[in-house]
Structure 1
Amino acid sequence: MKSLKYIIVLGIVTGVTFSSCEDWLDENPKYSVDNTVIFDSEETAKQALDACYGYLTTQDCFGQGVYEMSVGSSGLSWSQTNGSEPDRYASLNATTAGDAVLWAWRGLYKAIQECNTFIVNMNNGSLSEDLKENYTAQASFIRGLCYYYLSMMWGDVPLRIEPSAHDAISEPKSSFIDVVGQIFIDWKYAYDNLPENGEHVDGYIDKLGVAAYLAKLNWMLSCNPDLADRKADYLKDAKFWCDLVYGKYSLQSRYSDLFVNHVQNSPESIFQLNFTTSSDYSWNRLNWIFAADNASPGTAYQRIRSTKAFHDLFRGTYPGDPRYDATFLTRWYDVKNGSSYHLISDSVYTYPYKTYKTKSTSRVADAVAYIPYDQMDDPTNPTVEELTVLQEQFYTENTTTGEKNVVNLVGQFATSVGDHAGWPLWKKQIDFNCQAQQSNNNIILYRYADFLLLMADVYNELDETDRAANLVNEVLRRARTSVSPEASQPVDFPRGLSKDQMRKKIFYERLFELAAEPEMYFDIRRGGTETLKMALEIVNRHDITYEHCEGEAQHNNPDQRFRDRYFGEDATFYGKVSDESFLKKNLHLPIPHSELSANDGLSAADQNFGY
């Protein structure tokens, strides 16, 4: 018996029936809404549409699975090197049997399945044509959104656009371009049939939001090297949709306010998912994924952190950038154990800080050492040699004997120390008021800053490089003005850059602005192995990471569970990732083993390259 377990979500809709409890829990569910249901009241139809949106917020989908795989498998995240599933995907060696891979896959397909049934039942009902078009358009958008994530993260995938039934379990893979074709159909239908002047309500898509997604899809395809022969057409269409959307949204005045509890009606939100801890199925478990256990009242696992390399690239590129403190958590108050025994304001410190004891005849006090980036030749890449010299400014001294003990920053950050202190936390999805495992934070899946940066890339590729710089500078200006007095960083992009220079700068700027957000995995891979290589070489050229992985210090690491990573079989060639097979494999995630076993339309030969 083939078995895939799904979470029950839809159980509130009047007039909707389910297959038997046994089938629902222990078998592949072929449908959850009876295909013969006719929606004859607006209330029932709205409840069913809300349930379609609700499936996006489950633990399988964006409540954990999709988000976890996108950030954790990006190549710029760190997880404990203990042989666990996060170890595998952070090492870019995701397993086909991994829980998070399966959750993400089935969460997206579950939402698709419900949309398929909803669309059929909605159109067979007796409600007004205007309502049918509106609700069907929204369900079509959701289905297209799910296929957008599936195709960008897995490539060729089964394309299901009809309600499932017991005799319709088999479905072979469709080509990436065919899946993309269906996304265009769904989103164009949504755009054509949503009200022209519909009120924007957070948690629901509107006409303008669909236009923004059509701009993004065309831009993503224009970046794809396998579709180079159609690049001009994709850019033309991307520009059309960009011009339609530009100026219709605005940037949140404070960058950090994008990542707080219940961001409602943010002017920057193009589409967001709303969560509540009172729901039985809407589960935002991202605090559990990203936070340290003592950073909030809730239960957390610090499962995914930032690499030191990306942290230093950001910190060194834009010292004083207000986005830094909203992106990384490097020090915090221990809410569970308190910090009364410390004489400093925060009680927990991680990279690039190290706490140490200073001794005197009367007391023992805590002090904090740190990497002095402004004293480095390259602030984006501190070297072990520089730290060895500069760390002598941090020392403990016995006031009786005069004996000094240097604080060993190199030992802390280039050698395993048996704890998590060597890596900063991703901060954006940490909920400092989280209780248990559920967070109140809403998730903006697509925001206007993302749109402005992709629009800049479109205009650059169309040889309007100065216009591209102006668009990027809108985002940078907001970053500077997020604090008072205004910060000096990040500085504006200058005019006069070449097309290649602008393309490269936009790539890194998207990493800084959108770090640890829902599309991190495929944003990095949008240009194929070329852009993936650019991201991974951030890690491979980082001197502290190199010392941790390949230098003399790695032979003396006392705890192998806390190690850095190098990427590619030839990673010992300092700073480079030239293993094309490794890069090609990591353009996509593996198809879950459970899907290959359960879907008679797939075989082992359909597994993605390299898995």
Structure 2
Amino acid sequence: MKDMKTILIHLCIITVTLFSLSGCSDFLDEKPEGNTGTTGNFYKNKEDIEYALTAAYANLQAGAMYKEYMVLMTDVRSDDLGSFANTGGNAGREYSIKIFTAQSDNQIFRSVWQKTYETIYRCNNVIYHIDIVKDSKLKLQYEAEARFLRALCYFNIVRFWGDAPLILTPLTATEVAECERNKVADIYAAIETDLQFASDANNLPKVFTGKNSGRATSLAAKALLGKVYLQEKKWQAAKQSLGELINTDNVGTHTLLPDIANVFSTAPVQGSSASDFKNYTGWSPQTMNKEILFEVIFDKDIAGEGRNALTYYANQADLNEAFKLSNAAQCIYHSSDRRADLMRSMKGTNTDNNLLVKYADIQSTLEQYGYNTPVLRWADVLLMYAEACNEVSFDNSATSPALLALNDVRTRSYAAGAYTGNQLSDQDTFRDAIFLERRLEFPMEMQRWFDLIRSGNAINELSKIGIIIDKDDLLFPVPNSEVTLRDNPDKFPQNPGY
């Protein structure tokens, strides 16, 4: 199998052949009818399928996805950021998302919608033409990878917008323009089906190594399936899926790293303070580690494969008071918690932008950064499992699976912080402790907004930083271009409140 970086050379060809819509006005009406890839003009062998699949992976690196806007739609939208210094940047579009005044004409919503559906389109083409691959093992692997990526995209869509078009095959422009907004339940059912296929170890390896690190695995699919069940509040299904992952499927593969700083750093970590990073001279490309199940990989030494410094959380003054280490009265970290240092700001060199220590890096000669974007890591699996167990049946005994999983994550960074059963005396208190631990563990990892939605605490928590919202604000507006294209309020309505 070709390594992923080599395959990326071919993306320009793929982009033309698959009618990539970057820069086009709308994903729904820009695919030329009769040229959606279903004619077989491009797909002739397994190499074509492999290139097409890598093109889908490459989309995750886009600015409208995990390079930038996914952070804006989640971390910035949440209460992890208390303020937003650059109010005029990007014509105020980003700031308006932070303060919940953005409307359906905001270009950022359109970009995220478009790029996400473009990725789905690429996955659909891989799945539709998968029979071209004659190697049965490779055929299952490629299909499972495409299904994982498609499920991830639809999971983001359904959490951002609710009802949405559910497109599972390549369609012509006319067919796409006739799509309606499918119900949330139907989208989740499709997501579950894709992830059940991808999480089967007969279809997808448990781990990739070497040059293929970064591909989706069956363990990543199982973790994502657990997260999907959790978001649906299918507690028993989540407990079963995540329990199998932890107790059976994962054996010997993923684990918590002893030092959380090493999960993220592009350099060996000694103390994780800003001065440690600034004085370190041996920066190297970030690599996958045993805590990461899936992440979006960037390479600052390859043109176009790196990223810019994200200014959303570069200035610690913008962080919620809960993360300001100088504010002892409100900071949620104990002074001995290793995670606290990761929320400091630093510069790699005098010419570098500010970055949180969590994402510490210095620019390459191409003026790019190379830190990766974690999507699924083992700490998340453990805390999701604790949440599912607690919701199924409250148990605060010393042998409680929920308590053990919660304390595994907590004591990794705060050795003296283990909870006792007496401290978590009822289900509500236990639930609150889990969500607090998630906030301590995952700031600026695109988790908080979705946690606020799942817990039902978004309205209350946003009010604490002076942002007043109502239930309509829990979904984003559907891009106006999509609504006006249909001009059918019955089949393709705008979300309430917009």
Q: TM-score range by the shorter chain?
A: 0.7 to 0.9
Q: 1:590: how far off?
A: 1.6
**Residues 448, 508 of structure 1: alpha-carbon distance in 2 compared, 3 angstrom cutoff:** same
* One-letter amino acid matched to 1:502: F
Q: 1:120: how far off?
A: 0.7
For residue 527 of structure 1, what is the aligned residue in structure 2?
A: 455
Distance 1:135 1:71 in 2: 32
Distance 2:349 2:133 in 1: 58
Query: Pairwise mapping of residues 222-301 of structure 1 onto structure 2 (< 5 A)?
Result: 222=233, 234-246=234-246, 248=250, 249-261=254-266, 262-277=285-300, 279=302, 282=305, 284-291=307-314
1:590 to 477, 482, 490: 477
Distance 2:97 2:490 in 1: 23
Cα deviation per residue 1:183-209 (whole Å; 9 max; x = unaligned)? 011111222375465543431111122
Gaps of 5+ in 2: 1-8, 267-284
Cα deviation per residue 1:509-533 (whole Å; 9 max; x = unaligned)? 11111111123321221133xx213
Distance 1:101 1:76 in 2: 20
CA contact (8 A) 2:59 2:65 kept: yes
SS of 1:216's equivalent? helix
For residue 111 of structure 2, what is the aligned residue in structure 1?
A: 103
CA contact (8 A) 2:164 2:182 kept: yes
* One-letter amino acid matched to 2:215: Y
Distance 1:188 1:337 in 2: 43
Distance 1:54 1:274 in 2: 9
**Residues 434, 149 of structure 1: alpha-carbon distance in 2 compared, 3 angstrom cutoff:** farther
Gaps of 5+ in 1: 1-7, 223-233, 293-301, 339-347, 349-424, 482-487, 540-565, 569-581
SS of 1:30's equivalent? coil
**Residues 196, 112 of structure 1: alpha-carbon distance in 2 compared, 3 angstrom cutoff:** closer
CA contact (8 A) 1:60 1:66 kept: yes
2:124 to 113, 116, 122: 116
Distance 1:72 1:521 in 2: 9
Distance 2:377 2:256 in 1: 9
SS of 1:192's equivalent? coil
Distance 2:351 2:141 in 1: 48
1:151 to 125, 146, 158: 158
Cα deviation per residue 1:546-574 (whole Å; 9 max; x = unaligned)? xxxxxxxxxxxxxxxxxxxx122xxxxxx
Cα deviation per residue 1:125-156 (whole Å; 9 max; x = unaligned)? 25233322221111011001100011112211
2:492 maps to 1:492:
no
**Residues 309, 196 of structure 1: alpha-carbon distance in 2 compared, 3 angstrom cutoff:** closer
For residue 199 of structure 2, what is the aligned residue in structure 1?
A: 191
Q: 1:332: how far off?
A: 5.5
Greater percentage in strand? 1
SS of 1:318's equivalent? coil
Distance 2:240 2:318 in 1: 38
Query: Pairwise mapping of residues 435-474 of structure 1 onto structure 2 (< 5 A)?
Result: 438-461=368-391, 462-466=393-397, 467=400, 468-474=402-408
Cα deviation per residue 1:145-192 (whole Å; 9 max; x = unaligned)? 100011112211111112132212322111111111110111112223
2:38 to 35, 39, 45: 35
2:90 maps to 1:67:
no
Cα deviation per residue 1:248-283 (whole Å; 9 max; x = unaligned)? 321122111222234423111011111123556545
CA contact (8 A) 1:155 1:176 kept: yes
Distance 2:21 2:66 in 1: 27
* One-letter amino acid matched to 1:91: I
* One-letter amino acid matched to 1:327: M
Q: 1:320: how far off?
A: 2.9
Q: 1:57: how far off?
A: 1.3
1:214 to 185, 207, 225: 225
* One-letter amino acid matched to 2:467: F
Distance 1:174 1:337 in 2: 45
Aligned length: 445
Q: 1:309: how far off?
A: 4.6
Q: 1:327: how far off?
A: 2.3
Cα deviation per residue 1:94-116 (whole Å; 9 max; x = unaligned)? 33222322222222111101111
SS of 2:295's equivalent? strand
CA contact (8 A) 2:459 2:470 kept: yes
Distance 2:22 2:258 in 1: 50
CA contact (8 A) 1:290 1:430 kept: no
For residue 478 of structure 1, what is the aligned residue in structure 2?
A: 412
Distance 1:23 1:477 in 2: 45
For residue 351 of structure 1, what is the aligned residue in structure 2?
A: none
For residue 204 of structure 1, what is the aligned residue in structure 2?
A: 215
For residue 401 of structure 1, what is the aligned residue in structure 2?
A: none
Identity of aligned residues (%): 24
Q: 1:334: how far off?
A: 7.0
* One-letter amino acid matched to 2:263: L
SS of 2:103's equivalent? coil
2:490 maps to 1:609:
no
- Name the larger-Rg structure: 1
For residue 319 of structure 1, what is the aligned residue in structure 2?
A: 335
CA contact (8 A) 1:290 1:427 kept: no
TM-score normalised by structure 1 residue count: 0.66
